[in-house]
Structure formats: C-alpha cells, structure tokens
Chains A and B, each alone.
Chain A
Amino acid sequence: MKLLTGNDLPSGDVIWWTGSGWSRHVEESVDVTDQGEAIARAEEGARHVNAAYVIDATATPEGPRPAHIKDRVRALGPTVRPDLTLKPADPAAGDWVI
C-alpha cells in the first residue's frame, strides 16, 4: 500500500493523510493508491501540509506500517526518548520501529 505523509506547516508535526484530512497518527492513514502525488499537490497548495511525499507501507492488524525505518521513526518519535513519542506510556512502542 501507499501512504501520503508530510509535515504540518506551522507546527512541523508529522502528519498522515486519512482520506479526508490529516492525522498525527499513522494508524489512521489510508492507502492513497496512485493518487498520492495529486493529493499532495492539492493539499500543499491549500497549505494543509508541507513537504508531502508518498511512501510504501504494509497493512497490519494494528494499521499501516511504513516500509522504511525512517518513516517508522517519523511515525512514532525518537526511539531514544520514549517520553517524547506519540506513545509515551507504551514501553514496547519502540519495538514497532525496529
């Protein structure tokens, strides 16, 4: 599957395309098939996202998992600061990245 990701323009937060808008949680992202570039252009034009790009991912029971470790780190947060990730209460969250 293909996901569309980028950064929120004013905050810089990592965001994911949900089909109708943007979420900070990769679990809520959807397969953009071959429409990623078109969505990215439109959403960047509306300043809903900055530096958007399409990535490969696999579907899992817990939701989409980016194929590359770099995007998994983006999705969770720094593995060396669990307190600053999106799942600070989950000590095993970093395992999902590796």
Chain B
Amino acid sequence: MYKYDNYDQAIVDARVEEFRDQVKRRLAGQITEDQFKPLRLMNGLYLQLHAYMLRVAVPYGTLDGRQMRMLGHIARKYDRGYGHFTTRQNIQYNWIKLDEAPDILADLASVEMHAIQTSGNCIRNISSDQYAGAAADEVADPRPWAELLRQWSTFHPEFSYLPRKFKIAVIAADEDRAAMRLHDIGIQLVTRDGKLGGKVFVGGGMGRTPMIAPEIKDFIGAEDLLSYVEACLRVYNRYGRRDNIYKARIKILVHQIGADEYRRQVEEEFALVKKLGIDPPLAELERITAMFAPPAFEAGAPQGVDRSDPDFAVWLDQNVKPHKQRGYAIVNISLKPVGGIPGDASADQIDLMADLAERYSFDELRVTHAQNIVLPHVRQADLHAVWQALNEAGLAEANLDLISDIIACPGLDYCSLANARSIPVAQKIATRFASPERQRDLGELKLKISGCINACGHHHAGHIGILGVDKKGTENYQLLLGGSGAEDVSLGKITGPGFDEDGIVDAIERVTDKYLATREQGERFLDTYRRVGFEPFKEAIYG
C-alpha cells in the first residue's frame, strides 16, 4: 500500500487547518453560505436531506486495517454508528455536524486519509479493480498507476475548476471489474511487445446522457501515460461546455466533435505536453511501485478447503474468487443482507472487517464499486475462520453478483437531489428473491437502482436497471434491461411506462420468469436478453 511521504502528510494537514479556519469563520458569520459552500464541497462536505454529509476518499478503494478502523471510529463518534460505502469506492457519513467536521478531517489525516476532491468540478477519486494485485488475469498491478494519477490530480492547479466533475478508472485485466468504459477516462493497462502501456478510452459516463467511452488511443507507453492524460484533460478544459451544466461533461464534447477529431486534438496537445516533463522519473515510479509489492505470501500454503459445512460451501462458491497465488483466495464481503441497506456497515462491522484484514489478509481491504468489501489475500486454510467471523457479524450473505447484490444509491431517504427512494425498492426486491436457491438458479444478475437521473446507482449499467422518477409528486420507477458495466459494456434500454414501488418488484419477477423460461444451457440473464432481444421481455412485462 502507498504510504504518505512528508510532503503528502504536510499538504493534507495544512488542508485540515485551512478548513478549520474556514468553518470557524462561517460559524462566526465572517463568510456567507455562498462563500463557504464551494470551500466545504472541496472538502467533501455536502448539505444533504437531513444533515451535512461527508464523503471520504478511499483512493482506488484500497485501505489498511488502521484506516478501516478509523472509518469505524468516525461512524461511532461523529455519526450515528454506521457508514455508507459508495459506487466510487468511497465511504460517506450522513449525519455530520459542521462544527465537528474539522476534527473528523484531522482524525482522517492521522491515518493518511482525507475528503479532498470528493466533490466539485475536479478530478475525483481514481477508481480501480478491487482485485488488483490478487487477480491472475492482470498484466500488472493497476494501483501504482492509479496512485500516480492521484498524486498528479491532487490540487492540480489547471484542473481544479473543470467544466464538470471528472472520473478516471484504471484497470489491468480484460475482465472489467470497475466499469472502466463508463468513466470520463478509462485506462486499461496492456502490454505490447513486452512493454507496459495503456489503452485509453475517453468520454464515457452515466448520468442523464449515458455514453460508452470510445477508444482514443490503442496504446500509449507507460512512460508517456501521464502526459497523454494531461493532454486529454487540456482539450476538455479548453472546449468543454461551461455554459450548460447538462452538456458540460467530456462525453458531450467527444460526442459533439467526434472521437476522431477529439483524438486529433489530443495528439496535437500531447506533442506539446510531452516536452513539459510531467511524466515521473523512473526512480519515482519505482518508489511508488515498490509500495504495492506483493505481500509475503507463504510459499506452499495449503490448497483446498473442507466443504463439509454446507452454508460455508455455498459462501465459498459464491463470494470467494481465485487468487493468483497458490493456496490463497480473494474474499468478497457482501454488504447486501436481504432486507438490509445496500452498502451500509455499522461501526462494529467496520471494526470487524479491519480486524480480519489485519489477521488474515496482509492488512489489506478494498471497497468495490458494487458497494461491497474485499479481503484480497486470504489463505485458503483460513477461509472457514474468516467465514465464521463474518457470519457472526451478519456479513456472510452469499449473494455476490446475484439478484440481491443490488447497487442502490441513497435515494430520497438521504439525498437532496433524488426524486424517489431507492433503498426500499432494493429491500423489497431482495426480500422477494430471498431464497438462496432461487437466487443461485437465476445466476449472475446485476440489478442497479438510481433515485434520479444522475445515476449514482449505475442503473444504465444494470442487467436490470431501475430509475426512480417524480411523477406528479409521487415516486415512479422506470425499468431498464440489458445494461452492463463489465467488459461486455452496454447501456440498458427503458422498457416502457413506469411502475409504483410494488409494481416494479412484480415487473422484475415477470422479467426473471421470462428469462427462466427462455434461457439456454449456460446462459446468464444478460446472454439470454441479448440473444432473444428486447421485445419478448417487454411483452412479458406489459402483456
């Protein structure tokens, strides 16, 4: 894991004291809310439906036990005993007091964390593959590159006031576990002729105008990657639509001028940028990369697991993934108990996950964009002990990538932008499909719910997506089918008229029934949908 150097720590500590002074002046009436609002947002502090909300950055979703425990401490001391893990691999707290916010930031800084650039029209938290460093299919660990981008983008003077927010993802495997092509910039690390570089996609995103990022560069050498990304940003910063918030994201620019013209401008800019010496010297790259060196895996760690406990065996099959190191495994901790709130974890649960990471996973955890937690490096011999501890804490739901593993935004229960509640719909769907056997029979089925068009719940990328809208003052839910945020990326299509809260659950059941009646051997829901098309499902939904 990356460890702050003195410079990192100094700028974060300085930001805490700066914000402390800004809060003090706001409370004393020396600055107005109009003056203060952009300052608090730069520190991740929103004013939401019930209180202030603080969004804490978890760079590329990677945490150690000490940091995770601090997140639990904040939940317990400053919030109401829980936190909410987000689709940007961050965590947010819903009940923050303004006068305590500086102390929270100081506590975060003490464990090398902050809330900087978790809001505003700047480069947000860099996201990545939650299996980085553990997956057998990666060509390199993407985290050193994500960290490099984090350092480059933090307080970047040229990109602190972009036309709109900007999201970057870095992956290093053909299997896309980070919705990479639905980012403003998506980078897939690849090798060519034995040399590491990146395939660069620009102009993806969800929101009110969902788009899949086109490929802008099929290969840029790693030694030029930062300059190339800088060039991508410069073209956007120059020509992005600052006159219209709804047309201000880079996807609109790329779409309007076309990928070829955007690429031409980026190449032109890159020729200039490359002379500026932005790309780090080899020694700095090696310094960062060394911090992500593989942990000291036990050579000859025993392979195989005793599957005699049936509940454990089910969890093993569903939530545990192969590791690149013999004798190890990747553990996914579902934060989606049936009937629970997707992505929420209590302070005690957070503490427990920190303990398990320290004891069983080389002190590492990951937050996933699907609002779950990963212990990336667990000895197969320890899996039963981990499962037992998780089970006692209500964290052993064996539903990874099944229909109840629902991504849901906070919705109208917490968010001031939302038009409809997301969480109750997620709870009703999960409860309707509560039977583990039924879920497993349905197989991989990614269901994603957003409470408004901003799409924080990634509904466009759901095999089944739900969008909450306001229909003459009442909540209404539109159904989408056929989306994917994975390597087979696609955007869901709205089926037709929306439904009320109970109606949408019934509609989904009609969709799954149609799938079960139509599928061929080995087909996932998405495969069947793509084979038979939209109409049979529409017919099943509306009759």
A positions within 8 Å CB-CB of B: 7, 9-14, 44, 47, 50-51, 67-70, 73-74, 77-81, 84
User: Which A-chain residue is minimally distant from B501 (CB atoms)?
Assistant: A98
CB distance from B412 to the nearest CB of A (A): 6
B positions within 8 Å CB-CB of A: 26-27, 29, 33, 47, 49-52, 80, 94-99, 341, 412-414, 416, 418, 421, 423-424, 427, 473-475
Q: Which residues of B contact A11 (CB under 8 A)?
A: 51, 97-99
User: Which A-chain residue is minimally distant from B410 (CB atoms)?
Assistant: A78
**Which residue, A47, A70, A79, has most C-beta atoms of chain B within 10 A?**
A70
Q: Which residues of B contact A68 (CB under 8 A)?
A: 473
Tell me whether A51 and B47 are in contact (CB under 8 A). yes
**Which residue, A7, A67, A78, has most C-beta atoms of chain B within 10 A?**
A78
CB distance from B457 to the nearest CB of A (A): 14
Q: A11-B98, A73-B412, A80-B413 are in contact. List 16 more A-B contacts (CB 8 A).
A: A9-B26, A11-B99, A12-B95, A14-B49, A50-B33, A50-B47, A51-B33, A51-B47, A68-B473, A69-B412, A70-B412, A70-B418, A74-B49, A74-B50, A80-B423, A80-B427
- Known contacts: A12-B98, A73-B413, A84-B80. The answer to whether A78 contacts B427 by CB under 8 A is no
Tell me whether B51 and A12 are in contact (CB under 8 A). yes
CB distance from B203 to the nearest CB of A (A): 33
Tell me whether B27 and A79 are in contact (CB under 8 A). no
Q: Which residues of B contact A78 (CB under 8 A)?
A: 50, 94, 413-414, 423
Q: How far is the CA of A70 from the CA of B451 in the complex (A)?
A: 12
CB distance from A15 to the nearest CB of B (A): 11
User: Which A-chain residue is minimally distant from B28 (CB atoms)?
Assistant: A47
Q: How far is the CA of A77 from the CA of B94 in the complex (A)?
A: 11
Tell me whether B49 and A79 are in contact (CB under 8 A). no
Q: Which residues of B contact A14 (CB under 8 A)?
A: 49-51
Q: How far is the CA of A9 from the CA of B47 in the complex (A)?
A: 10
Q: Which residues of A contact B95 (CB under 8 A)?
A: 12, 84
Q: Which residues of B contact A80 (CB under 8 A)?
A: 341, 413, 421, 423-424, 427
Q: How far is the CA of A9 from the CA of B26 in the complex (A)?
A: 9
CB distance from A52 to the nearest CB of B (A): 10
Q: How far is the CA of A41 from the CA of B51 in the complex (A)?
A: 21
- Known contacts: A11-B97, A51-B33, A80-B413. The answer to whether A73 contacts B49 by CB under 8 A is yes
User: Which B-chain residue is minimally distant from A83 (CB atoms)?
Assistant: B80
16 A-B contacts, Cβ less than 8 Å apart? A9-B98, A11-B97, A12-B51, A13-B51, A14-B49, A14-B50, A51-B47, A69-B412, A69-B474, A70-B412, A70-B416, A73-B412, A74-B49, A77-B50, A78-B50, A79-B421
Tell me whether B47 and A44 are in contact (CB under 8 A). no
Tell me whether A10 and B473 are in contact (CB under 8 A). no
Q: How far is the CA of A10 from the CA of B26 in the complex (A)?
A: 9
Q: How far is the CA of A74 from the CA of B414 in the complex (A)?
A: 8
- Known contacts: A11-B97, A69-B475. The answer to whether A47 contacts B424 by CB under 8 A is no
Nearest 7 CB-CB pairs, A to B?
A12-B51, A78-B413, A12-B52, A10-B99, A80-B423, A11-B97, A80-B413
Tell me whether B33 and A44 are in contact (CB under 8 A). yes
Tell me whether A70 and B424 are in contact (CB under 8 A). no
**Which residue, A14, A51, A68, A84, has most C-beta atoms of chain B within 10 A?**
A84
* A79 interface neighbour in B33, B98, B413, B416, Cβ under 8 Å: B413
Q: How far is the CA of A47 from the CA of B97 in the complex (A)?
A: 15
Q: How far is the CA of A14 from the CA of B29 in the complex (A)?
A: 20
Q: Which residues of A contact B412 (CB under 8 A)?
A: 69-70, 73
User: Which B-chain residue is minimally distant from A45 (CB atoms)?
Assistant: B29
Tell me whether B473 and A67 are in contact (CB under 8 A). yes
Q: How far is the CA of A69 from the CA of B476 in the complex (A)?
A: 12
Q: Which residues of A contact B51 (CB under 8 A)?
A: 7, 11-14
Q: Which residues of A contact B421 (CB under 8 A)?
A: 73, 79-80
User: Which A-chain residue is minimally distant from B36 (CB atoms)?
Assistant: A50
Q: How far is the CA of A81 from the CA of B97 in the complex (A)?
A: 19
Q: How far is the CA of A53 from the CA of B413 in the complex (A)?
A: 19
Q: Which residues of B contact A7 (CB under 8 A)?
A: 47, 51
Q: Which residues of A contact B49 (CB under 8 A)?
A: 14, 70, 73-74
CB distance from B34 to the nearest CB of A (A): 10
**Which residue, A9, A51, A67, A80, has most C-beta atoms of chain B within 10 A?**
A80
CB distance from B439 to the nearest CB of A (A): 22
User: Which A-chain residue is minimally distant from B29 (CB atoms)?
Assistant: A47
Q: How far is the CA of A74 from the CA of B416 in the complex (A)?
A: 9
Q: Which residues of A contact B99 (CB under 8 A)?
A: 10-11
Q: How far is the CA of A67 from the CA of B416 in the complex (A)?
A: 16
Q: How far is the CA of A14 from the CA of B416 in the complex (A)?
A: 12
Q: How far is the CA of A80 from the CA of B427 in the complex (A)?
A: 9
Q: How far is the CA of A73 from the CA of B423 in the complex (A)?
A: 13
User: Which B-chain residue is minimally distant from A67 (CB atoms)?
Assistant: B473
Q: How far is the CA of A98 from the CA of B97 in the complex (A)?
A: 28
User: Which B-chain residue is minimally distant from A94 (CB atoms)?
Assistant: B424
Q: How far is the CA of A44 from the CA of B475 in the complex (A)?
A: 32
Tell me whether A79 and B424 are in contact (CB under 8 A). yes
CB distance from A48 to the nearest CB of B (A): 11
Q: How far is the CA of A95 from the CA of B29 in the complex (A)?
A: 39
CB distance from A79 to the nearest CB of B (A): 6
User: Which A-chain residue is minimally distant from B414 (CB atoms)?
Assistant: A78
Q: How far is the CA of A76 from the CA of B441 in the complex (A)?
A: 40
Q: How far is the CA of A79 from the CA of B97 in the complex (A)?
A: 21
Q: Which residues of B contact A47 (CB under 8 A)?
A: 27, 29
Tell me whether B473 and A12 are in contact (CB under 8 A). no
CB distance from B32 to the nearest CB of A (A): 8
**Which residue, B47, B49, B424, has most C-beta atoms of chain A within 10 A?**
B49
Q: How far is the CA of A17 from the CA of B97 in the complex (A)?
A: 21
CB distance from A1 to the nearest CB of B (A): 17
